[in-house]
Amino acid sequence: MKILLATRNAKKLVELQRILDAAPGCRDVTIVGMSDVPDYAEVPESGLTFAENALLKAREGATHTGLPTVADDSGLAVDVMGGMPGILSARWSGGGGDDANLELVLVQIADLPDTARSASFVCVAALVMPDGRWWTVEGRMPGRLVREPRGTGGFGYDPIFVADGEERTNAELSPREKDAISHRGKAFRGLAEIIARELVGVRDQRG
């Protein structure tokens, strides 16, 4: 069974496939990305919330490919910045890329004490079926921002984010450790339960 993940980000494809492989009933589900299907114009992320953007992308994918489609929108929400960069996280520096986005946030909060550097990663994942049915799941990862990047794993703002209960940044965690606590891991595991129930037919054994 194939499901489209509406992204060209290879790391997200690997991450979702890894989570589905570990989920009951989802081991026979194969994730394909936008590079694996006929080209179609990517819908602009014009929503005002993570959920709106995730649904926009998932609906576009399901319409153009006829495949059940998963999409997510995620970002960094810094408390002292009123939840920004939020849905603008990937474009915060005006198109400069991950490193530029990270450096800009560090500059913006450079003078703040450690006690004022709380933040959360937020992810909303959406599943849209070709018949129009849809679901969304939100995952949050609370933590704090450090003053200098650390680690070589992950992507985006991972090198400056330390999750609650951790001393290492997300970029210093192994993929499995990050999956267990991350915002995207939580959201994708929630979708995995829906995929198992709605697409694979696995019933919740908890009753």
Catalytic residues: 73
Spatial CA neighbour of 29 closest among 83, 58, 66, 69: 69
Are 50 and 75 in contact by the 8 Å Cβ rule? The answer is yes
Are 87 and 152 in contact by the 8 Å Cβ rule? The answer is no
Are 73 and 57 in contact by the 8 Å Cβ rule? The answer is yes
How many other C-beta atoms can be found within 10 angstroms of the C-beta atom of residue 99?
Answer: 12
Are 89 and 76 in contact by the 8 Å Cβ rule? The answer is yes
Q: Give the whole-angstrom CA distance, residue 31 versus residue 100.
A: 30
3-state secondary structure of 52: helix
Q: Give the whole-angstrom CA distance, residue 190 versus residue 126.
A: 10
**Residue 104 identity (one-letter amino acid):** L
